[in-house]
Structures are given as C-alpha cells and as structure tokens.
C-alpha cells in the first residue's frame, strides 16, 4: 500500500517552489484547488447545460476558430495555454494532423489533448496503431488492445468487440479515441499529461494494467485510465438508476470503479468530429 501511494504522488518536482501541496504541470505549478477550479471553470464555461440536456445548443463555438461545425471537438487549454502543446489552439477545432505531428515526437507514438465537444469535457488520444500493431508488443510502441471488461464489482460484462461488431464506428477511427472526460469516481476531469508523473510519462506497457505511462490521470484522487485498452464496461445512470453497458477505455488504477466511455469519431477534412449516438453513456455524473 505504501508503495502504491508513493507512486501515485511521484510527481515531477516543482522547479521554483517549496510548496508541498503543489503539483507540477510542465514547468509551472497547479495545486489541488486550482485544478478543481480549472475543472469547474471548464464545467461552467462549456457545461452550461450540464448532462441533462446534452445537445448541440450547449456547444460554445471558438472565437475565430475557423472550420468545424457543431460536431467538431475543440481544444480546451484554459489556464494551460503556455504548458500544453495545444495551448495556442485553445478553443479551436481539433485536427487529426495536429495529433499526428505531436505523436511523431513521442517514443510511444501517442499524443492527447483535452477539449470540449457538444458541451461536455473530452480527451482525445491519438495512437499510431496502424504503424505499431505489426511490431512486437514488448517494444514500447503503443497500439490499441481490444479487451474483455468487468464492472465495478468485478463481474464480467463482455468484450469490446461485442459492441463494436454491432457498430463498427466504435472501433478507433483513424487511430483516434475520444472519451467523455468525467471521472467515474467523483466526476472530476481527467487529463492527458495534466501532471507529470510515472503514470503520464511517455512509455507504454501492454495489457491494460497500471504499468508504464501514457495514462489519462485524474488529479483529484489519482485514478488512471489506459486509452489504448478498449473494453466493454457497465455503469449506472445517476438520475434514474438504470444500468447500461458501454464501450470504453480501461480503468487501470485508483479509486475509479470503471473506465471512461468512448465517443465515436469521424475525421472530416482533418477536423475531428464526435458522433452523438451514445449520450446515455455519459449520465453517471450529475
């Protein structure tokens, strides 16, 4: 247990502060209060209609963002404009070519960015699956893994392919996976390299476990999610208590009970667009 906790908080040392409560984000600091503020700024800024009215009207169009309609995902780097690689593109439509260029700098062939889509927070991850899938899994090159899934009690739910065979749009389109960005623990907003630690470093280990980096990390209580491990999972609609199964990315560690649901995407003239066919999957938070 001690080992686990020490790893969970194995954060990059702050370069200019002795504040032990601060977490390092690149070369700057963000403490827990600021992070929560960031999360709720995101929420109040773009979740104006919250989950009860997931609709196109909730979308905030980027000022001068150019291109991309209501289905386009937009970068969201508020407060991190100087740290995140997509900071200069804050509120502009996400482009596949941006992710490809960023992934080329990665030893694992991955890149990711936080964003907003259809009024909700998202994280988009690019994995150079087409190139890496033919190489040995032990070489640290990330690729998608299609896996069996279990609910929060450990009960077998089904295989990712069971859902994706019925709707092929759930398979990663153009090496991209977009997920609904609310943690299944207490609904904070996980991020891609939002903090620097062993879970978010540029390394990859197969199996959907907690080894290696390349995880989406929730700073609130350190839950981790593997965007390369795709599974079937189950959760509960918080409003009416109904259960639903979904295609998602695997929870690899931390207090979150299950993984994060996928939002299927298409790429339209380089713009990444989400498909609003599975909004029931995003109902586990208020």
In angstroms, give the least distance from the CB of 134 to ligand FES. Answer: 35
Q: Is 188 in the site for ligand FES (CB under 6 A)?
A: yes
**Contact with ligand FES (CB under 6 A) among 45, 158, 207, 255:** 255
Of the pair 71, 194, the CB lying nearest ligand FES is at: 194
Residue 143 near ligand FES by CB under 6 A: no
Q: Which of 46, 220, 234, 260 binds ligand FES (CB under 6 A)?
A: 220
Query: From the centroid of its chain, how far is CA 10?
Result: 21
Task: Tell me, by CB under 6 A, how many residues bind ligand FES.
Answer: 11
Choose which of 120, 163, 256, 258 interacts with ligand FES (CB under 6 A). 256
| Cα 119 to Cα 165: distance, rounded to the nearest angstrom | 28
User: Does 115 participate in binding ligand FES (rule CB under 6 A)?
Assistant: no
Q: Does 258 bind ligand FES (CB under 6 A)?
A: no
Q: Which two tokens stand for residue 185?
A: 């623990």
Determine the 3-state secondary structure of 156 from DSSP. strand
- Comparing CA positions, the residue from 262, 252, 245 lying closest to residue 177 is 262
- Between residues 220 and 271, which has the closer beta carbon with respect to ligand FES? 220
- Give me the least distance between CB of 7 and ligand FES, in Å please: 15
- Of 95 and 185, nearer to ligand FES (C-beta) is 185
DSSP string, 217-272: EETTTTEEEEEEEEEEEEEE-TTT--EEEEEEEEEEESS--S-EEEE-EEEETTEE
Torsions phi, psi of 110, nearest 5? -125, 160
Residue 185 in the binding site for ligand FES (CB under 6 A): yes
| 183 touching ligand FES, by CB under 6 A | yes
Binding range to ligand FES, per CB under 6 A, among 6-14, 115-123, 154-162, 248-256: 248-256
Residue 265: exposed, middle, or buried by beta-carbon count in 10 A (0-12, 13-18, 19+)?
buried
The residue (of 129 and 251) whose beta carbon lies closer to ligand FES is 251
What torsion, rounded to 10 degrees, do the Cα atoms 153, 178, 115, 62 define? -140
Centroid of chain to Cα 278: 17
Tell me the two tokens of residue 22: 């601060």
Q: What angle do CA 148, 257, 43 make, to 5 degrees?
A: 115
197 binds ligand FES (CB under 6 A): no
**Part of the chain binding ligand FES (CB under 6 A), chosen from 136-144, 225-233, 236-244, 250-258:** 250-258
Shortest Å, Cβ 223 to ligand FES: 4
CB within 8 A of 128, min separation 6: which ones?
103, 109, 110, 141, 142, 143, 175
Binding test (CB under 6 A) with ligand FES, winner from 223, 233, 252, 283: 223
Least distance (Å) between residue 108 CB and ligand FES: 23
Please give the residue ranges that form the binding site for ligand FES (CB under 6 A): 183, 185-186, 188, 218, 220-221, 223, 254-256
């Amino acid at each position: 247990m001690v080992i686990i906790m020490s790893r969970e908080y194995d954060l990059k040392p702050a370069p200019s502060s002795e504040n032990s409560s601060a977490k390092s984000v690149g070369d700057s600091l963000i403490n827990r209060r600021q992070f929560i503020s960031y999360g709720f700024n995101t929420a109040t800024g773009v979740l104006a209609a919250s989950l009860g009215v997931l609709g196109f009207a909730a979308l905030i169009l980027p000022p001068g963002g150019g291109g991309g309609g209501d289905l386009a995902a937009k970068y969201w780097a508020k407060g991190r404009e100087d740290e995140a690689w997509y900071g200069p593109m804050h509120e502009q439509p996400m482009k596949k070519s941006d992710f490809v260029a960023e992934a080329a700098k990665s030893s694992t062939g991955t890149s990711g960015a936080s964003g907003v889509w259809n009024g909700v927070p998202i994280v988009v991850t690019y994995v150079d699956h087409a190139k890496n899938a033919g190489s040995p899994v032990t070489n640290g090159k990330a690729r998608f893994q299609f896996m069996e899934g279990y609910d929060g009690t450990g009960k077998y739910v089904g295989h990712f392919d069971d859902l994706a065979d019925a709707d092929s749009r759930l398979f990663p389109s153009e090496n991209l996976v977009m997920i609904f960005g609310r943690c299944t623990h207490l609904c904070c907003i996980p991020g891609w390299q939002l903090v620097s630690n062993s879970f978010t470093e540029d390394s990859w280990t197969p199996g959907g476990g907690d080894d290696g980096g390349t995880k989406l990390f929730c700073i609130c209580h350190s839950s981790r999610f593997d965007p390369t491990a795709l599974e079937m999972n189950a959760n509960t609609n918080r409003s009416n208590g109904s259960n639903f199964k979904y295609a998602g990315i695997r929870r690899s560690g931390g207090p979150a009970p299950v993984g994060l649901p996928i939002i299927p995407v298409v790429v339209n003239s380089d713009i990444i667009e989400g498909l609003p066919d599975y909004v029931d999957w995003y109902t586990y938070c208020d």
